[in-house]
A = this chain, B = another copy of it.
Amino acid sequence: MINVAILGFGVVGSGVAEVLSTNAEKIAQSAAQEIVLKYILDVRDFSESAYKDCFVKDFAVIENDPSVQIVVETIGGVGAAYDFTKRAILAGKSVVTSNKELVATHGHELLELARTKNVNYMFEASVGGGIPIIRPISQCLAANEIFELYGILNGTTNYILTQMIQNGVSFESALRDAQEKGYAEANPSADVKGFDACRKICILASLSFGSQVYPESVPTEGIENISLTDVEFARSAGGKVKLLGRSVMREDGRIACYVAPHIIGENNLLSNVEGVFNGIVVRGNAIGDVMFYGAGAGKLPTASAVVADIIDSSKHMNMRKYIYWEEAKPEMMFDPATIVSRWYIRTSAGLSQAKKVFGKVSVLVSEGAEFETAFITERMSKIEIEALVSGFPVLSLMRVLD
Contact = CB atoms under 8 A, between A and B. Distances in A.
Interface of A: 19, 22-23, 26-27, 29-31, 124, 130-132, 135-136, 139-145, 210, 267, 269, 271-274, 284-295, 298, 300-301, 303-308, 310-312, 315, 322
Contacts of A139: 132, 135, 308, 311-312
B269 A293 contact: yes
Nearest to A18: B286
B140 A135 contact: yes
A23 B144 CA distance: 7
B271 A300 contact: no
A27 B142 contact: yes
A290 to B, nearest CB: 4
Nearest to A305: B140
A322 B124 CA distance: 18
Contacts of A269: 269, 272-273, 293
A132 B132 contact: yes
A23 B143 CA distance: 7
Contacts of A293: 269, 289-293
Nearest to A266: B272
A23 B286 contact: yes
Contact of A294 (B19, B31, B288): B288
A106 B138 CA distance: 29
A23 to B, nearest CB: 6
Contact of A131 (B274, B290, B298): B290
Given A23-B286, A136-B136, 14 more contacts: A26-B145, A27-B143, A30-B142, A30-B143, A124-B140, A132-B136, A132-B290, A139-B311, A143-B305, A143-B307, A143-B308, A272-B272, A288-B295, A290-B293
6 contacts: A30-B322, A130-B290, A135-B140, A285-B300, A290-B293, A292-B292
Contacts of A136: 132, 135-136, 140
Contacts of A312: 139, 142
A315 B141 CA distance: 15
A288 B301 contact: yes
Given A22-B285, A136-B132, A286-B130, A143 B291 contact: no
A140 B145 contact: no
A253 to B, nearest CB: 11
Given A136-B135, A140-B135, A301 B287 contact: yes
Given A142-B311, A143-B307, A130 B288 contact: yes
A307 B131 CA distance: 23
Nearest to A300: B286
- Looking at A272, A289, A304, the one whose CB has the most chain B CB atoms below 10 A away is A304
Contacts of A311: 139, 142-143
Contacts of A31: 142
A304 B269 CA distance: 22
Nearest to A295: B288
Nearest to A30: B142
